[in-house]
């Protein structure tokens, strides 16, 4: 009887909200891997949720050629945490889009972070460029993001981040050419600058190209800590080779004398589902070497 009441209640709620969600897409991603992790103190086996998420997004047509755009996204750990610790806020914003471009208000990835496109092939895994110490992977609260319309494939972006506690602000700027996923174009280029974002001034240059079934990416990064003035630089090289249902991937990244190498293999199981495996090794200038071996599944909806 209790189960029947739950089913009836869910059906009633779903029926009541369906008209309100007519212009809204419900989406998500489940990404879970079995992983052997050795951070220098011996290998341990673990089950990892790799930035699994769900959200709502939509576009509503308004008057005078304007559109209302919105997104409300959360990260969920489907393997470990429960209750209030399970959900983490991701990009959540509302804004307007028109002939002038697009303005978004809320929490959003900075335009420097967005400028790298899809060339960090192991983003959200151990080999994510932020895990070797690259700064600039910021999702900014209290931010205003503006992007111009595209002019001959060129686009400019600005993130303005309010610091309410200190009555201050920081900025992120980008200039891009082409499509960061190389779905529409064979070439991509971007230059992006952070000024005092997360305590760092950063410059990132991204280049990408597609040669037949091979996608190649190259990113240069320099960063300086605002308080200490310590400067660091690094480079990332990535390659993705599509062979039928498989994608063979490799990535090399550095920050000063720290380096990491990752090899991976994806196998498409359906339109929205894949199996994947990767092996990552980090060789820091100071400290123990690290290695990670994983096998997992991903499904998007």
pLDDT at 254: 98
- Per-residue pLDDT band for 17 (boundaries 50, 70, 90) equals very low
- Per-residue pLDDT band for 2 (boundaries 50, 70, 90) equals very low
Distance CA 140, CA 134 (A): 16
Q: Which long-range contacts (CB under 8 A, 24 or more apart) does 15-23 make?
A: 21/56, 23/58, 23/59, 23/60
pTM of the model: 0.89
% residues pLDDT > 70 (the chain): 91
pLDDT at 14: 41
Q: Choose between 19 and 212: higher pLDDT.
A: 212
Token couple for 33: 């891997």
Distance CA 139, CA 37 (A): 27
Mean pLDDT for 81-104 is: 89
pLDDT at 5: 41
pLDDT at 10: 37
Q: Please write the tens of the pLDDT for every residue from 187-206.
A: 999 999 999 999 999 999 99
Average pLDDT of every residue of the chain: 91
Distance CA 280, CA 289 (A): 11
Instruction: Count other C-beta atoms under 10 Å from residue 40's C-beta.
Output: 11
């Amino acid at each position: 009887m209790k189960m029947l009441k739950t089913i009836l209640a869910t059906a009633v709620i779903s029926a009541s909200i369906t008209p309100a969600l007519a212009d809204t897409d419900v989406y998500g991603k489940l990404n879970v891997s079995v992983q052997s992790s050795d951070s220098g103190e011996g290998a341990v086996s673990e089950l990892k949720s790799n930035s699994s998420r769900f959200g709502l997004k939509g576009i509503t047509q308004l008057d005078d050629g304007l559109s209302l755009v919105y997104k409300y996204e959360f990260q969920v750990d489907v393997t470990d945490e429960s209750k209030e610790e399970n959900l983490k806020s991701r990009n959540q914003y509302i804004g307007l889009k028109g002939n002038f471009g697009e303005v978004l208000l809320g929490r959003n990835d900075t335009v420097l972070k967005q400028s790298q496109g899809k060339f960090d092939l192991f983003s959200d895994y151990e080999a994510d460029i932020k895990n070797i110490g690259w700064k600039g992977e910021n999702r900014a609260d209290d931010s205003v993001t503006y992007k111009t319309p595209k002019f001959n494939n060129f686009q400019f972006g600005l993130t303005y981040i309010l610091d309410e506690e200190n009555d201050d602000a920081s900025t992120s700027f980008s200039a891009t050419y082409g499509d960061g996923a190389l779905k529409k174009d064979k070439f991509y280029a971007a230059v992006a600058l952070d000024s005092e974002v997360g305590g760092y001034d950063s410059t990132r240059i991204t280049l990408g190209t597609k040669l037949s079934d091979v996608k190649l990416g190259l990113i240069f990064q320099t960063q300086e800590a605002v308080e200490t003035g310590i400067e660091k630089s690094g480079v990332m090289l990535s390659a993705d080779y599509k062979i039928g249902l498989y994608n063979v991937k490799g990535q090399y990244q550095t920050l000063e004398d720290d380096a990491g190498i990752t090899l991976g293999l994806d196998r498409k199981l359906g339109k929205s589902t894949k199996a994947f495996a990767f092996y990552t090794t980090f060789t820091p200038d100071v400290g123990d070497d690290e290695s990670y071996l994983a096998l997992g599944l991903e499904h998007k909806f």
